[in-house]
Structure 1
């Protein structure tokens, strides 16, 4: 999720563990601890594009690192902030639980989270929530404001904190239900039409769980569309992409190319360009209204003889006023 979501979620989690003893300081510590895993982004510019993809949300988002570092950070904080009301176990919970909340929420994004590293390179992702979801934020921020307004009224503060945590759990569960229902509906439609497919990928578009991208893979390519859950039978912005995976065959032994393919989980298309090839990761959609321009991740493969250089184009967020307006229009109406 985005940093603001992790800040406010970390704060409300910390409220339930330690605010009874140290008040608003718990919110500050929780907000910081809730963002600790994303400090890996400081180092990604130093890595190759392929390695940077796996370093982010890799070991930094693993359960092992929480187990190893949370006690160390708790000890350091306890030596700096010598509040006699806090035992070491209190500091440990104050650091570990917001940190864990970050990891657990990120699992539901499409990017993938290496929760089992270094024992497994499996990237866990359920693809049911966008990285930025304003509805999720809208359910947490008022709780943080209420907690601050209540000051020293401890009981009411904890009630609002638990309401926020409960809202997050319900919202995530609701997103999972939407995803499962959408994939079931699409599979039934394909069966009724007699169309063969190998898999269905669905992912929420940015800002909410109301508009979804649907990717249906078959032997030759992908059919891509968007679905509005307020009128789920209507498909929007349909497009078709050939796989063109054969373009990468001469580069099959290139380690960086292999990493890119693994990152996309096989949902990618390849196009020729003036300098070589362009790889599009089909799992992420921006707010743009046409594909492949709407795909967030694009990798340019420049081929000069035996030299292969990979560069990652800046993520295409397409956050223009026009695109946001059309995005809202697609949610509120099926006319497009």
Structure 2
């Protein structure tokens, strides 16, 4: 999830664990702990694109990381804070750290929660930014901060925020199931034979859902809104995996395919090959658009070394996409 959401979650968890004893310091340290796992993004400054993608939401988002570092952070804080209970601080850091990857596991990218095992946990029930999850949670946290440390209202507001946010997460599983059922019914009605289907919410909401459908030679992409009155339509995108040629044997290419869980197409523009990660959809809802959210140019140097270069996205593209998605959400 986005940084603000993780800060709010970490702060609320910190308050739940130690707020009655240390007041707003529990919120402060919980907020700090809620941001720590995302420090893995700095790997992109020191490694190639593929390695950085493999590292992202890896070790720092695992149970192992939480178990190892929570006691260390707890001990460090207990050294200079007036509240000296090392176990209490460690417990705060553990829960604030571990709820971060648990929440991220609900997004499309998911987390390597069970690192070092090569298993990415991704429920794909919530977009990385969802105001309906974050805003009520944030309001409750702000109300909590202005209550006395031992106040019943303080515990009530914080508990309310945690309850509402958790209930919303649970609801997203129901919404995902309903959307999946609609996609499956549409595929059946249209006599489309497919091998697998992958669904996820569209940006900023859980009313509009998208689906990737794996067929023999192409992937089908479709949208379904709970406000739709017409049958779901699917657009085909040729896989073109054969365009990779001998590159298919390259280690980086294989790692990229693994990262995208096989959901990828290859296109050729101006003599260059481009790798499209289908899990995050398109930047445009125009028919036959090839502007995917995550598109990488495949560069091969004279020594045969392969490098993936992520293509830049403009703010204008983002604004246009949000506008189109808003119209589609309304069933248009």
> 8 Å contact 2:266–2:275 — kept in the other structure?
yes
Distance in 2 (alpha carbons) for counterparts of 1:165 and 1:286: 33
RMSD after superposition: 2.0
Match of 1:267 in 2: 263
Correspondence for 1:20: 20
Q: Name the CA shift for 1:142/1:157 in 2 (closer, same or farther; >3 Å).
A: same
2:192 maps to 195
Q: Is the 8 A contact 2:296 2:311 kept in 1?
A: no
Report if the CA contact (8 A) 1:14-1:26 is conserved.
Answer: yes
- Asked whether the equivalents of residues 206 and 286 of structure 1 are also in contact (C-alpha less than 8 Å), the reply is no
Contact persistence 1:198–1:218 (CA under 8 A): yes
Distance 2:124 2:312 in 1: 18
- 1:244 corresponds in structure 2 to 240
Q: What is the alpha-carbon distance in structure 2 between the residues aligned to residue 141 and residue 314 of structure 1?
A: 34
CA separation in 2, counterparts of 1:154 and 1:195? Answer: 59
Q: Is the 8 A contact 1:205 1:287 kept in 2?
A: no
Unpaired runs of 5+ in structure 1? none
TM-score (norm 1): 0.92
1:128 paired with 2:153, answer: no
Equivalent in the alignment of 1:32: 32
1:229 corresponds to = 226
Say if 1:12 and 1:144, in contact at 8 Å, map to a contact too: yes
Partner of 2:93: 95
More displaced stretch, 15-24 vs 282-291: 282-291
Q: TM-score, normalised by structure 2?
A: 0.93
Question: How far did residue 52 of structure 1 move?
Answer: 0.5
Cα separation, 2, equivalents of 1:206 and 1:102: 20
| Partners of 1:299 and 1:310 within 8 A in 2 | no
- Pairing partner for 2:171 from 170, 174, 185: 174
**Equivalent residue, structure 2, for 1:311:** 308
Query: Which residue in the other structure is 2:55 paired with?
Result: 55
* 8 Å contact from structure 1 (residues 70, 92) kept in 2: yes
Determine if the alignment matches structure 1 residue 219 to structure 2 residue 216: yes
CA contact (8 A) 2:57 2:111 kept: yes
CA contact (8 A) 2:212 2:221 kept: yes
Query: 1 CA distance for matches of 2:199 and 2:13?
Result: 30
Deviations 1:61-106 (A, max 9, x none): 110111111111111111121325xx22211121111111101000
1:277-296 Cα offsets, whole Å, 9 max, x none, are: 10100010366323654522
1:124-145 per-residue CA deviation (whole Å, 9 max, x = no partner) reads: 1111111111111112111111
Residue-by-residue CA offset, 1:159-212 (whole Å, 9 max, x unaligned): 111111111221111111111221122222322332210111111121111112
The 8 Å contact of residues 134 and 165 in structure 2, kept in 1 or not, is answered as no
CA distance in 2, matches of 1:82, 1:214: 53
Q: 1:297 to 1:66 in 2, by over 3 A?
A: same
